[in-house]
Chain A
Amino acid sequence: DAGITQSPRHKVTETGTPVTLRCHQTENHRYMYWYRQDPGHGLRLIHYSYGVKDTDKGEVSDGYSVSRSKTEDFLLTLESATSSQTSVYFCASSIRGMSNQPQHFGDGTRLSIL
């Protein structure tokens, strides 16, 4: 499996505070993705990146921003966290962004916003 590390693994914070989640991959994959997983909604794409400094929105991008300054790092930022953003966040990466390339996932970050 691709070497994907997410940090932190767990975080508890308060409404209104900024939060940054980090994803680091060692496979030199061009594409990286952020998902959130919620009961009743499954996994939903937040943002993805198709190269350094190249990003685009996914299905549920409101309230989130991303940055990718290096191939190996993809950051997800909640500028002002809300309770509705309590979720488990997963990062994934793939060699290319086509449907014939499987995505490989990190172990997730469990984020609780009080």
Chain B
Amino acid sequence: SQELEQSPQSLIVQEGKNLTINCTSSKTLYGLYWYKQKYGEGLIFLMMLQKGGEEKSHEKITAKLDEKKQQSSLHITASQPSHAGIYLCGAAPGNTGKLIFGQGTTLQVKP
């Protein structure tokens, strides 16, 4: 079965600093999703990547999918306290809609 591993598990950064979160799959990714979750709330969809080498940006968050489609990175530029939360990567094994998720990366941004 396919598994997703995120690193690091947790991250504390000073406001204004850049950071990167990685998501590695044990098998080829057909679709890679990034979500953000605040404590006690649901998951907010950030971005979806499908093609090898694809890169998408939204405001100060950039996500990339490597050429082999087995790893994705999420990069935040000039972090702000509003970026704090749990970031989860999700994937659909076998090109189905049944998502599996990584364990999540907890981000704290210190003012």
Contacts and interface: CB of A to CB of B under 8 A. Distances in A.
B98 A98 contact: no
Interface string B73-111: 000000000000000101110011111111110000000
A43 B41 contact: no
A24 B48 CA distance: 24
Given A45-B99, A58-B98, A99 B30 contact: yes
A45 B42 contact: no
Interface residues of A, number: 28
Contact of A102 (B33, B101, B102): B33
Given A103-B45, A107-B41, 20 more contacts: A33-B97, A43-B43, A45-B99, A59-B100, A90-B42, A90-B43, A92-B43, A94-B97, A98-B31, A98-B96, A99-B92, A99-B96, A99-B97, A100-B50, A103-B90, A103-B97, A105-B44, A106-B42, A108-B40, A108-B42
Contacts, number: 71
A99 B31 contact: yes
Contact of A31 (B97, B101, B104): B97
Interface of A: 1, 4, 31, 33, 40, 42-45, 48, 58-59, 90, 92, 94, 96-108
Interface residues of B, number: 26
A112 B49 CA distance: 36
A48 B98 contact: yes
Nearest to A4: B42
B42 A107 contact: yes
A108 B97 contact: no
B85 to A, nearest CB: 14
Contact of B31 (A92, A100, A108): A100
Contact of A104 (B31, B45, B90, B97): B45
